A and B are shown apart, each in its own frame.
Chain A
Amino acid sequence: MNENNKQVILEAVNLTKKYDDGVLALDNLNFAIYENEIFAMLGGNGAGKTTTINIFLNLLEPTSGDAKVCGVSSHIEPLVVKKNLAYVSENVMLYPNFTALQNLDFFSQLGGQDSLTKDHYQEVLIRVGLAEQVHNNKLKGFSKGMRQKCGIAIAILKDTKAILFDEPTSGLDPKAGYEFIQLLNDLKGEGKAVLMSTHDIFRAKEAADTIAIMNDGKFLMKEKASTLFDKDLESLYMQYMAGHAPQPASEGV
């Protein structure tokens, strides 16, 4: 359980999920994400990324295996697990008739943070890039990217050991996307473990410590970003997806 004396935060052990209709969405998946680590799952539509995240959130029961957070299985003690997890969905939806601040207040309290003040909320909203003049606007007037920023703010406020991002950069403009990567690095610096699913190869390479390419519920590749440092991730991805696993010592670009 140790990699340079770091603690494992998120862990999948032989994680398998077969849906009722017979689709094998996760096929004996194994990974471990340590504190101070950003783990990116790349993969096509239907690869099983959201399924993985849903099992961590106990919205799905695994068919077999475990999804563990700080050593606790999500389907055995979901409430303990959820205390240590923050989550940002691919399309953040909040209460449309509440303002940004009201939404933040409600979700922070749900997340167990009940001593936060308006100042905290505003600070975090500014940190995720939401201008102060919209903090008191109702969510129904927000664009997708603005909602995404609120969602990220909620995850930050929950202040957990692990954060799950499902396609966090979808809907963010280039500047916000860039800022999001900065933010991820900040969070990592605070010791958090981040599991992020994404279609964005560029951002994945930029931010992640570990990158996995997923297809049909399996990892085709799982590498430290440092070892991929000089490789063209995009062509690598294409090769994997086409079913030709490149030789271990494939040449760089």
Chain B
Amino acid sequence: MLKTLVEKEIREIIGSPKFTYTFIVCLVLILLSFYSGAVSYKDNVTHWEAAKAENLQSFEGIKEWYRVQENRIFLPPQPLATLVSGVSNDIGRTSNIEPSGEVTADDSRYNEEPAYAYFRFIDLEFIFLVVLALFAIMLGYDAICGEKEKGTLKLCLSNAIPRTKFLMGKFIGAFSVLSISLIISIGLGCLLLPLLGVHLSSEEWIRLGLIVVAGLLYFGLFLAMSVMVSSFTQRTATSFLILLIIWISSTLILPRVAVMVSGRAVDVPTVDELGYQKAMYATEQWKSFLNSLDNYTPIENEDMEEVMANFNKFMDSISIAREERMNIYRSRLNEQRYNKELERSQIAFALARISPSSSLSLASSTLAGTSPELKDQFYQQAKNYQTSLKEFLNEKTGMNMGGGFIMTISESDAPEKDPIDPTEIPQFKFEPESLSKSVQKALPDFGLLILFNCIFIAGAFVSFNRYDAR
């Protein structure tokens, strides 16, 4: 019986013109997103490699390690960002690492190419979020009220089929048609990736698979919601209108409102405010540093080497102390801001998750490694890199690098030194989050998507059981 209903549903959908258009649009958009994602990934890789080479180049001709005052590191492009761009285009991808001082990142893609920032890229996530939801609505809005309008509902229900089965048939039929067309489209897109020079590791394939599962759950819940709305409305036009309003609010309005509300709820100092405070403190510290310098009396000694060593030692001691104080102050401010920021984003995400679109976005960007946490991950790893760079330079120069003066003697008749080998500088290697950790983080959102599915399916059953089928 269920089989009959499902078969009929599939046949009816496939035979309808709306399906043909839906499928073509779905296929074209998905292939387009794979294509444009792959092209932009390759651009990013070229860009990234050029930037790294240029950075190495900048050390050319340097003969003294102490002249290496900074090294630039770059966040490598992630292949899955081609499909779920998340924040990957918004955050800074380059960081100037000095042995001491603040770590910041800039040069985001959207900063460099504002036109893209304005229109954003079409990625798979966007297609899931906006287009797939719309298709689910198109397939589901007339599930029940459409049968009533056609006049077939009464005849169907004059047979000995439980209403739940009838509804199941509708749901399973529509779900299988769209998920099969989706899987075909995505499958073709996946075949396209290697041809376009994007190679995913097996772990990335798993991530992609999970993203598709999240997309299907999202599609399922929109379908269930559409079927639910169609089973408490009498007319297809009403049902479609209600669903359009829900669609727009949940994909476009609710998540933004949530971020706005959380912005009001938690006051986070701006980066500029913090910068000002830090600068004030730095000036203060600098003054006391110069004071201590004034009070320095060079030792009486004939041996220049010893005078110099003594000075450098003194210098080290005061600059290390200053640096430490600044570090403590800075990290206190940063931490305060970070905690506030975290609180705000937690409120924002919690609120935004009223809309399942947010759950899909968060789950898929977490799996793709492009969630808002990417910024933190880069920052943390850049900070760790700073430490290793500092250790490296300290070892090379035998001095404490950064934050003071260094006295050197230039001996004009000294033998010509060989230039430094810049490849000795420690390499920055970005470690993406492990798969199991990403999955763990995405799990609550999967749970929410499943929960929404259950709620809407249950809602559809309840309202169809009370539906006036005459």
Contact = CB atoms under 8 A, between A and B. Distances in A.
Contacts of A176: none
B22 to A, nearest CB: 15
A59 B1 CA distance: 20
B15 A97 contact: yes
B253 interface: no
A110 B11 contact: no
Interface in B302-327: none
A228 to B, nearest CB: 31
A94 interface: yes
Interface string B151-170: 11011111111100000000
Interface in B49-87: none
Using C-beta atoms within 8 Å of the partner chain, give the interface range for chain A.
20 to 34
B201 interface: no
Find the residue from A91, A110, A112, A151 having the highest chain B CB count within 10 A.
A110
A110 B160 CA distance: 8
A14 interface: no
A85 B4 contact: no
Given A54-B470, A60-B470, A151-B155, A93 B150 contact: yes
B5 to A, nearest CB: 8
A57 B158 contact: yes
A178 interface: no
A82 B151 contact: no
Given A79-B162, A82-B160, A106 B4 contact: yes
B12 interface: yes
B142 to A, nearest CB: 13
A44 to B, nearest CB: 20
A110 B4 contact: yes
A107 B154 contact: no
A1 interface: no
Contacts of A114: 4
A79 B160 CA distance: 5
A95 B160 contact: no
Contacts of B15: 97-98
A102 B8 CA distance: 9
A85 B152 contact: no
Contacts of A158: 159
A97 B16 contact: yes
Given A98-B11, A106-B4, A59 B152 contact: no
A111 interface: yes
Contacts of A97: 12, 15-16
A102 B15 CA distance: 12
* Smallest CB-CB A-B distances: 7 pairs: A93-B151, A87-B158, A109-B4, A82-B160, A110-B159, A83-B160, A79-B160
Interface of A: 54, 57, 59-60, 79-80, 82-83, 85-87, 89, 91-98, 102, 106-107, 109-112, 114, 151, 154, 158
Given A54-B470, A98-B15, 6 more contacts: A59-B469, A82-B160, A83-B160, A89-B154, A95-B8, A97-B16
Interface of B: 1, 4-5, 8, 11-12, 15-16, 150-152, 154-162, 468-470
